[in-house]
């Protein structure tokens, strides 16, 4: 049954319009906006995410590799530094020992020059410093009897004067050395050996003071002199 209002409207030739579907309109608008959002933002973001995730994983793996490499490098550096310190310690000890040996030889040189001053003055003896050793050169004519390997009384006095100085330090090593020409006759070598042994025997048993590390040698020389040498070296302190 139509209402009075409707009948009045019909009599006037006016028909009531149907209500417009505003709800559906807004719903469609929201749907379109949602689709636009998905197309404009979500899909690009999803694609970017799909690209960035593997890259992030790669960067993470690379960071871990770099971290491991850094640790390995640090460990290697620490090991190298430890070795360097150890080598430096050894070198410092060697340098200290060398300085101590050099200082000992300086004292021995000064003392020998004082004790043998009269022999040095008349050139019966000579003292030379050669790097890490001290060489006391004595003329054979002042040490041995003529044409003999026996030590003369004056030679014994000369050797014993040196022995008292050389026996004062247990870290000194003394070598009785007789040079022989490389092209010398065969008989010269045994004679030189007898002279070296005879001088060493006097130093060992006739002077009351025996140098430490005493031994004798004969050595080839391009231009040997008629001399006997006491070669003195200093070893590190025990």
Sheet containing 227-234, strands listed edge to edge, beginning at the edge strand earlier in sequence: 125-130, 133-139, 227-234, 172-181, 215-221
Instruction: Classify strands 172-181 and 133-139 as parallel, antiparallel or unpaired.
Output: unpaired
126 lies in which domain range?
A: 105-234
Name 229's bridge partners: 137, 177
Q: Is the pTM of this model over 0.75?
A: no
Residue 189 domain flag: yes
Give the model's pLDDT for residue 151. 92
d(CA 151, CA 10): 167
The partner residues of 181 in beta bridges, in order of sequence, read: 221
Length of the chain: 238
Return the structure tokens found at 80.
């190298």
Per-residue model confidence (pLDDT) at position 237: 55
Percent of the chain with pLDDT over 90: 8
Question: Does 175 map to a domain?
Answer: yes
Tokens read off for 120: 């040095």
Does residue 89 lie in a domain region?
no
**Domain for residue 121, yes or no?**
yes
Classify residue 228: in a domain, yes or no: yes
Q: Which of 107, 112, 201 is nearest to 151 (CA)?
A: 201
pLDDT for the residue 2 = 46
Question: What's the confidence (pLDDT) of residue 152?
Answer: 92
pLDDT at site 210: 79
Is 185 among the domain residues? yes
pLDDT at residue 22 in the model: 59
- How far, in Å, are 4, 7, 105, 136, 178 from residue 130 at the CA level? 144, 144, 10, 11, 17
Alpha-helical (H) ranges within the chain are 4-11, 22-37, 43-115, 117-121, 140-143, 153-166, 188-205
Taking the C-alpha atoms of residue 59 and residue 188, their distance in angstroms, rounded to an integer, is 84
Burial of 217 (0-12, 13-18, 19+ CB in 10 A): middle
49 is a domain residue? no
pLDDT tens figures, 134-152: 889 888 888 989 888 899 9
Residue 206 belongs to a domain with what CATH number?
Answer: 3.30.1330.60
Number of domains in the chain: 1
| Structure-block tokens of residue 9 | 């409207």
Residue numbers of the chain with a pLDDT score lower than 50: 1-3, 9
């Amino acid at each position: 049954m139509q209402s009075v209002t409707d009948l009045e409207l019909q009599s006037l030739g006016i028909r009531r319009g149907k209500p417009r579907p505003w709800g559906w309109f807004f719903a469609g608008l929201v749907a379109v906006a949602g689709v636009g959002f998905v197309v404009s933002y979500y899909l690009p973001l999803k694609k970017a995410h799909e690209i960035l995730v593997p890259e992030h994983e790669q960067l993470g793996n690379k960071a871990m590799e770099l971290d491991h490499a850094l640790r390995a490098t640090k460990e290697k550096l620490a090991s190298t530094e430890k070795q360097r310190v150890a080598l430096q310690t050894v070198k410092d000890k060697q340098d200290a020992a060398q300085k101590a040996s050099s200082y000992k030889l300086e004292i021995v040189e000064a003392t020998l020059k004082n004790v043998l001053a009269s022999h040095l003055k008349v050139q019966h003896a000579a003292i030379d410093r050669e790097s890490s050793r001290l060489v006391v050169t004595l003329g054979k004519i002042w040490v041995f009897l003529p044409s003999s390997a026996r030590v003369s009384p004056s030679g014994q006095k000369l050797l014993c004067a040196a022995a008292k100085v050389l026996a004062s330090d247990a870290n000194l090593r003394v070598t009785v050395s007789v040079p022989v020409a490389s092209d010398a006759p065969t008989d010269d070598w045994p004679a030189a050996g007898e002279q070296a042994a005879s001088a060493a025997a006097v130093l060992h048993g006739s002077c009351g003071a025996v140098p430490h590390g005493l031994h004798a040698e004969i050595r080839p020389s391009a231009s040997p002199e008629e001399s006997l040498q006491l070669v003195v070296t200093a070893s590190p302190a025990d």
